[in-house]
Amino acid sequence: MKKRVYLDYSATTPMKKEVLDEMLPFFNVQFGNPSSIHCFGRENKSAIDKSRGIIAKTLNARTEEIFFTGGGSEADNWAIKGVASALKDKGKHIITTKIEHHAVLHTCEYLEKNGYEVTYLNVDQYGLIDLEELKAAIRPDTILISIMFANNEIGTIQPIKEIGVIAKENNIIFHTDAVQAYGNVVIDVNELGIDLMSLSAHKIYGPKGIGLLYIRKGTKIQPIIHGGAQERRRRAGTENVPAIVGFGKASEIASEGIEDHISKLTYLRDRLINGLTEKIPYVFLNGHPTKRLPGNVNICIQYIEGESLLLSLDMVGIACSSGSACTSGSLDPSHVLMAIGLTHEVAHGSLRLTIGDYTSEDDIDYVIEQLPPIVERLRQMSPLYEKVKGGN
Amino acid sequence: MYSDKVMDHFTNPRNVGEIENADAVGQVGNVKCGDIMKMYLKIDNEVIVDVKFKTFGCGSAIATSSMATEMIKGKTVKEALNLSNRAVAEALDGLPPVKMHCSVLAEQAVKSAIYDYAQKNNLHYEELDGYNPNEEDDHHDHGVEEED
Ligand code: FES
C-alpha cells in the first residue's frame, strides 16, 4: 500500500480507540435523554457530569464552570456575544488581535456592525502581541479582552498569564480561544487568570461537534442559544451525550500523558524544521522558535505557491495545509501571515505541517526526503526563481 | 477537485522553460491572487513555431499555462490571439469555479507576449486594439468565484 503520512493534526485528529469504545454504548444502549426523570435519563445525566468533572480537573476549574457547546466556534461566539450583551450598559469596546481564528474575528466584525467597537492588536514578526499595546488599548468602556492561547496557523503561544494580570487589574473579562492549546500546553485557569475559555474535542483525539466554554464563576455572560434548561439554563439543546462522554475520555488521556506528548512532539517538530531548513534553500520558519505549539511547523518556501505544493505532496501521500491565497477560497492570503508582516508573494509559499500522537520519526524523515525534489521541480517552473539563481 | 486532465498537465506540464532569443516575451500577474506567468514565443512567418512558459502559481495556473501553450503551438499569431480562457478551461475538462481566474492568466500571458511582438516589429493586430498589458483586465469570464 502507498505510504500515507497525515500532518494536519491542527485541522483535526483521529479519535482514539479508547475514546470510541467509551462512546459507543451511548448511541444505542444508554440512549436516554438526560433531562428525563426515568432511569434511562438519569444514567446519562450522571455520565455528562462525570465528563464535566474529568475535564474541570484537567484545567484546575470547578465542575460547574464547564459548559458544553456544539464545538469551539460556538464557544467563541458565545463568549464574545454573551459578554457583549451582558455588559452593553457598561461599555461597547472589545479588544482582540489580528491573528484570531475567524470564529472570533467574524463575531467581532458582526458586533461592529451592531454598534460595538473593536480594537485589533498587532503582532510582531513572531506572532506575539505587545503587552504595552494591550494596556494602551484599554478604555473605561472596554468590556472584554479576547486573545487566543496559541495560534492555529503559526503555533505562537501568547503570554496568557501576563494578559490575565492586565485584565484583572483593569477589571475586564478575559476570554481565550484555547482550541489549539488544550492538550498541548498545561492549562491552569486560576494560575493564568482566565475568565472564559473555548475548547474543542476533535483537536485532542475526541469526537467532532463537541466543545465547551469554561465560565469562571461570577463572570457576566448571557446565553446565545435559548430553548431549554440544559447546561444549567445557559445553553439549550439536548446534550450530545456520546460526544460529551468522548470529550471527557479524550481529556483524561490527554492530560495524563501531556508531558510525554509535549516532549515527543517537540522532538519531531524540531527534527522536521531542521531537516527542511537544512535541505531546502530559501526556506524560513514562521512563528516563534520556542514559544510555539509542540506539534506545529509552519514554513515559507520562497518562489513557489502553496497549492501546487499541497497537490504534489498529496501525490506522495503527505497531507498538510497552506496559507496561500490560492488555497483559501476567498483568494486572500492568510490574515495571520499578513499580520506577521509577510508579503503576499512570500505567503504564497507557506506550508503548515502539524504533528500528532501517531506521527513517527519515519514519517518525519519521509517528508524531509520527499519535499526537496518537489520544491526543486516547482521552482524550475517559477519565473521568480530564475532571477534568484542569477539567470535571466 | 481537479479533473484528470488538469492533474496530468500539472504533473507533466508541456513546454516549461525559456526560449533564448525569443521573438516575444510576455509576463502577467494575476490581479486576483498575485500569481505570475511568463510566456516566450518563437514566431516564424506569423506562425508560432515554439512556445515556453514559467508559472508561479497554483495547480490550475500551471495546468492552464501548459494547455494554452499546446493550443497555440503551430497556430498563427491571429489564431493565438483568439484563444479564450474558456476554451483553455474546456480543453482541461473544466475548472472549479473559484479557479476560473487562473485560466484568464493564461489567456493574458499569450496576449501580452504577442503585444510585445507587435511592439517590437511595428505590427498591428486588430485583436489587440485597446489592449494595454499594464491594465487590470475585467472583461473576461472569471467564472462565479465572487460568491465566496
Ligand atoms: S493562480 Fe492563484 S488560484 Fe490559481
A175 and A272 both lie in a single domain:
no
Domain end residue (candidates: A230, A256, A282): A256
A52 and A182 both lie in a single domain:
yes
The pTM score is 0.92
Identity of the residue in A327, A329, A383 whose CB atom sits nearest the CB atom of B56? A383
A124 and A161 both lie in a single domain:
yes
A231-262: string of b/e by CB count within 10 Å (b at 16+)?
Answer: beebbeeebbbbbbbbbbbbbbbbbeebeebb
Q: Mutate one of B56, B65, B147 to test the A interface: name it (highest A CB count within 10 A).
A: B56
Q: Mutate one of A282, A303, A304, A308 to test the B interface: name it (highest B CB count within 10 A).
A: A308
Could you tell me the pLDDT band of residue B129, with boundaries at 50, 70 and 90? confident
Count of domains in chain A? 2
- Structural domain including A167 reads 17-256
CA of B58, closest CA in chain A: separation in Å?
5
A269 and A241 both lie in a single domain:
no
- Contact B85 CB / ligand 1 (< 6 Å): no
Q: Which of B71, B64, B4, B73 is nearest to B35 (CA)?
A: B64
- For A331, name the nearest residue in chain B, comparing CA atoms only: B33
A135 and A271 both lie in a single domain:
no
Domain end residue (candidates: A205, A234, A256): A256
| B70, B12 Cβ separation under 8 angstroms | no
Each domain of chain B, given as residue ranges in start order, spans 4-126
| CATH, range B4-126 | 3.90.1010.10
CA of A16, closest CA in chain B: separation in Å?
29
- Contact A326 CB / ligand 1 (< 6 Å): yes
- Residues in a beta bridge with A156: A292
ipTM of predicted complex: 0.88
A298 and A372 both lie in a single domain:
yes
- Residues in a beta bridge with A67: A213
Could you tell me the pLDDT band of residue A388, with boundaries at 50, 70 and 90? confident
Asked if A296 has any chain B CB less than 8 Å from its own CB, the reply is no
| B32, B101 Cβ separation under 8 angstroms | yes
pLDDT at A271: 98
Res B148 pLDDT > 50: no
Note the pLDDT tens digit of each residue in A44-68.
999 999 999 999 999 999 999 999 9
A44 and A192 both lie in a single domain:
yes
**Considering Cα of A252, then A78, then A134, then A100, what sign does the dihedral take?**
positive
Asked if A231 has any chain B CB less than 8 Å from its own CB, the reply is no
CATH number of the domain within which A375 lies? 3.90.1150.10
- Residues in a beta bridge with A353: A297
A101 and A137 both lie in a single domain:
yes
Domain end residue (candidates: A238, A256, A274): A256
- Which of the residue ranges A278-282, B61-65, B132-136 would you say has the lowest mean pLDDT? B132-136
A63 and A184 both lie in a single domain:
yes
**Considering Cα of B12, then B14, then B20, then B22, what sign does the dihedral take?**
negative
The amino acid sitting at A224 is I
Which element (helix H / strand E) includes A296? strand A296-301
Contacts of A77 (CB under 8 A, 6+ apart): A103, A107, A224
- Contact B102 CB / ligand 1 (< 6 Å): yes
Res B137 pLDDT > 60: no
A129 and A141 both lie in a single domain:
yes
Percent of chain A with pLDDT over 90: 92
For cell 457598561, the residue is: A90
pLDDT at B139: 45
User: How many other C-beta atoms lie within 10 A of the C-beta of residue A319?
Assistant: 14
Instruction: Give SS3 for A391.
Output: coil
- The number of CA neighbours under 13 Å toward the Cβ of A222 is 10
* A108 annotated active-site: no
